[in-house]
Structure 1
């Protein structure tokens, strides 16, 4: 069986977003899942924001800045980074991709195969 080519990454994606797009398309087949492509695009864009915020935090000499009353407070990028990481995690979870061990050696999976794995995980292999 020939696997479809990896679709071109959406415009505007930076390095980390393109990498996520490629990695997930290499492992999973989203051909029959247009709704998951929308989520994947948002996850890739969020990954770019996380990478950008991380570089700002990494370059900062101090992670604290002066607040409105002169008190030390966390740099706003730290809180934003935490929020964007949580968003990225949520987006990736909403793709409902099977674990690596479930797909080991099977190559790309079709929508029905992904659904079957999800049902097995949800119901513990019990069929009714």
Structure 2
């Protein structure tokens, strides 16, 4: 991906308002490798799709008739839930969100793998602290 005059990666074409905001805020806070930029683009597109589905859902009924006439939830609700989960996972993978409590240790996927392998092979012995990645909004 190309960089702008300030060295920040240029946002992908076609992002909506929310996706563009996620892109610019994230690249401003985190130094990202090319593979992470691919994940970030995916997160931005998921965020935009969520906005689009929200608009459609707002103009739809929450309950419709199923194949036997029974009331069923609008299928878009399930799709939105899936998109939210996918977005959360991608952002967590990027290290751009906090997985839970503020005191929860934040590790990259490779750091988590190393930690899990160490625990499997060495039992309950504690690990040396692993370098945390910066969080969006943290000040250095």
**Structure 2 length-normalised TM:** 0.64
Residues 17, 70 of structure 1: CA spacing in aligned structure 2 closer, same or farther, 3 A cutoff?
A: same
Q: Is 1:7 equivalent to 2:6 in the alignment?
A: no
The 5 A counterparts of 1:44-123 are 44-60=44-60, 62-97=61-96, 123=127
Deviation at 1:6, TM superposition (A): 2.8
The 5 A counterparts of 1:17-28 are 17-28=19-30
Ranges in structure 2 where 5+ consecutive residues have no aligned partner: 1-5, 116-126, 132-140
Is the partner of 2:72 in helix, strand or coil?
strand
Residue by residue, what CA displacement relative to the aligned partner does 1:76-105 show, whole Å, maximum 9, x if unpaired?
111100000000001111113476x8xxxx
User: Where is the helix percentage greater, Structure 1 or Structure 2?
Assistant: 1
RMSD of the TM alignment (CA)? 2.8
**Structure 1 length-normalised TM:** 0.69
Relative contact order (alpha carbons < 8 A, sep ≥ 6): 1 or 2 greater?
1
Residues 126, 72 of structure 1: CA spacing in aligned structure 2 closer, same or farther, 3 A cutoff?
A: closer
Residues 36, 47 of structure 1: CA spacing in aligned structure 2 closer, same or farther, 3 A cutoff?
A: same
Of the three residues 122, 125, 129, the one matched with 1:125 is 129
Q: Is the 8 A contact 2:91 2:97 kept in 1?
A: no
1:38 counterpart residue number: 38
